[in-house]
Chain A
Amino acid sequence: MANPKTLPGANGKRYLFGRLFIWTLLLAAAVLYLGPIYVVLSTSLKDLAEIRAGALLDLPHELNFTAWREAWSSACIGVRCEGLRPYFLNSVIMSVPSVAISTLIGALSGYALSLFRFRGANIIFALMLFGCFIPFQIVILPMAQTLGYLGIANSITGLIVVHTIYGISFTTLFFRNYYVSVPQELVRAATMDGAGFFRIFWHIMLPLSVPIIVVSVIWQFTQVWNEFLFGASFTSGGSQPVTVALNNLINSTTSVKQYNVDMAAALIAAAPTLVVYIIAGRFFVRGLTAGAVKG
């Protein structure tokens, strides 16, 4: 064995400079990303007097959660002064079904497109992929008309429908690409055993799909929760999602700009996606890189 310390390039000036360069770069990137979060977090914990005194980058003198309480339950959005809470609940009621339904439909269609290759499966898949590239703005008008026609305009149900439809392209893509690596013989064996389309899906494919289900859930939850345009266009008043409410809260401050409440509200609105990612994130990376099913 060669001693790693004596190999060319293992030590000396060039090595040191290389390391220094890398560390500096990483440090700069970290500051760039974490700086704004630090400012938002520390501002949300200050009172207004402290904020007015300037010193944006200072730590708060004491941990003061008044702004958080206000943002959650008493800040005024338009004429209602109930804080973000009702809108946060709206977002939960909107996200959970749209994530669940779009993931389930994506799994089913991905399974049909990859393991039950029927005539024209590739064309259908290509058309579904196309859906991933349609910008939100294009569909707003026809979508509004459709929702009106169906009688679910200005409702959370309407948003659930919109997000489910919009998400199917992505979830189908995920599941189809995952199932392509599942051996065809598995389906054949199950067919010989007497299982049909849905029983193979339920007993064999879904249990194999945990990694890609996690990917689909994280992706869809982030998309649906953070979405603003559909929420702003298709709902008003009490049925708005939290993203729209956050915008209104910040814009409807009457006299003094309450930066601490705004910051706390922003953090509250962003928290769920962070929590989902922290809980399931390692599956996310694993699900994106893995795919092969080891038998």
Chain B
Amino acid sequence: MATISIEHASKSFGATEVLKDISLDVKDGEFLVLLGASGCGKSTLLNIIAGLEPIAEGTIRLDGEVVNDVHPKNRDIAMVFQSYALYPNMTVERNIAFGLEMRRISKAERKATVREVASMLQIEHLLARKPAQLSGGQRQRVAMGRALVRRPKIFLFDEPLSNLDAKLRGEMRTEIKKLHQSLKATMVYVTHDQIEAMTLADRIAIMKDGVIQQIGTPQEIYSKPANMYVAGFVGAPPMNFVEVDLVKQEDQFGVILPAVLKGEPKNYFLPLPDSKQLETRENTKIILGLRPEMITHNAFTQSTNPEIECDVDLLEPTGADTLCLIRLAGHPAKARVSPLFACDPGESMTFSVDMGRVCLFDGETEELIRL
């Protein structure tokens, strides 16, 4: 059992408030990802859980027990660092065993445990080497081994993959996920990479300026982002935002979407699902959030989806899909279509818009309007 519970945590470095009233619960065996741009406070939050930074205000509990003043070594937590922080003067074997050595575990037992962990990570042949003689990926594995060997209740990862090349990052990501499944340990993972967050997390907490914007499963975060920041941060290419007027035509709420057809402006009325939420907002500006895959070619989609025809300025083929650059309300937007249906650049094409999945945001507060 290992749960983490943080209540009203605040932290400042000098005059800058790094964390503002953070409350967060991590369930036993959960994989929580703290996601955010650099400087959002996610690493500080991780260091507070580890005990490397003292918490200024609020409480932090591990398994229900307040640990505000408990030293890191007594929290039964292991941490993997971005730079791996391997001890340069020690062999791989001693690097991994160091935590056990500090806890006065006998030499024979240390050796056996290190062998076990090394075989799990497939680094047995590296045990006699020094960190300087290892490649980036091997160092990463050793850093993981150092965390695993103590069998802690909680694992913390501080951007562990950001120093690896793209291919290795993908492989290690899979391994970390496998590791979580086999260990069933509680893990908190900090990253700025939304793909990592989406693929690894049971739940994601998105942070900005020391405030948690939203906590939810990857699917919730993706399909129901709490605000425009979250919507824009998660997803590649990012969600298209279009400022539109909310109107009522023939008892049906909808938005007026200004597009461009053959160089001429053309407005389309797109009906929205019925919702009481919209009553008070008639004739106000709202922001329509459309992910690129919500604007797609009309071949196989349901015929009930409204269609728009507009000019395609540019094509960006990615292999599996082709991104069409179009203009909505004067701003560039991206649509994702199958390469089979993509028109030539400069021509116009008919797209169907999946209005059942669009997000609406308040024009003032940028918060999601829940329908």
Contacts and interface: CB of A to CB of B under 8 A. Distances in A.
A204 B89 contact: yes
Contacts of A194: 73, 99, 102-103
Given A193-B73, A195-B102, A294-B132, A188 B87 contact: no
B12 to A, nearest CB: 14
Interface stretch (B20-28, B77-85, B353-361): B77-85
A203 B89 CA distance: 9
A190 B78 contact: no
Interface string B133-177: 000000100000010000000000000000000000000000000
Most buried by A among B87, B99, B139: B87
Contacts of B102: 193-195, 199
Contacts of B47: 188
A191 B47 CA distance: 12
B50 A192 contact: yes
B83 A183 contact: yes
B86 interface: yes
A295 B89 contact: no
Nearest to B79: A192
Contact of A193 (B89, B98, B131, B132): B98
A204 B78 CA distance: 19
Interface residues of A, number: 19
Interface string B60-75: 0000000000001100
A203 B102 CA distance: 10
Contact of B84 (A192, A193, A295): A295
A294 B88 contact: yes
A208 B88 contact: yes
A207 interface: yes
A107 B103 CA distance: 26
Contacts, number: 65
Nearest to A189: B85
Contact of B82 (A185, A186, A193, A294): A185
A278 B200 CA distance: 58
A195 B83 CA distance: 19
A185 B85 contact: yes
Interface residues of B, number: 26
Contacts of B85: 183, 185-186, 188-189, 295
B371 interface: no
A31 B228 CA distance: 77
Interface string B94-109: 0000110011000000
A192 B72 contact: yes
Contacts of B90: 207
Contacts of A27: none
A204 B94 CA distance: 12
B83 A185 contact: yes
A274 interface: no
Given A189-B79, A194-B99, A194-B102, A208 B72 contact: no
B120 interface: no
Contacts of B78: 192
A102 B72 CA distance: 32
Contacts of A229: none
B128 interface: no
B56 interface: no
A193 B110 CA distance: 14
A57 interface: no
Give the one of A186, A194, A204, A207 with max B CB within 10 A: A194
Contact of A192 (B73, B132, B139): B73
Interface string A170-191: 0000000000000101101111
Given A192-B72, A295-B132, A207 B98 contact: no
A295 B103 contact: no
A191 B72 contact: yes
A137 B132 CA distance: 48
A293 B102 CA distance: 23
Most buried by B among A186, A193, A195: A193
A294 B83 CA distance: 11
Nearest to B147: A192
B183 interface: no
Contacts of B86: 189, 295
A104 to B, nearest CB: 18
Contacts of B73: 191-195
B52 interface: yes
Contacts of B139: 295
Nearest to A188: B52
B72 A190 contact: no
Closest A-B pairs by Cβ, 7 of them: A207-B89, A193-B99, A194-B73, A194-B102, A189-B85, A185-B85, A185-B81
12 contacts: A189-B79, A189-B81, A189-B85, A191-B52, A192-B72, A192-B78, A192-B99, A193-B98, A195-B102, A295-B84, A295-B88, A295-B131
Given A183-B85, A185-B83, A192-B72, 15 more contacts: A186-B85, A188-B47, A188-B50, A188-B81, A192-B78, A192-B79, A192-B99, A193-B99, A193-B146, A195-B98, A195-B102, A207-B89, A208-B88, A295-B131, A295-B132
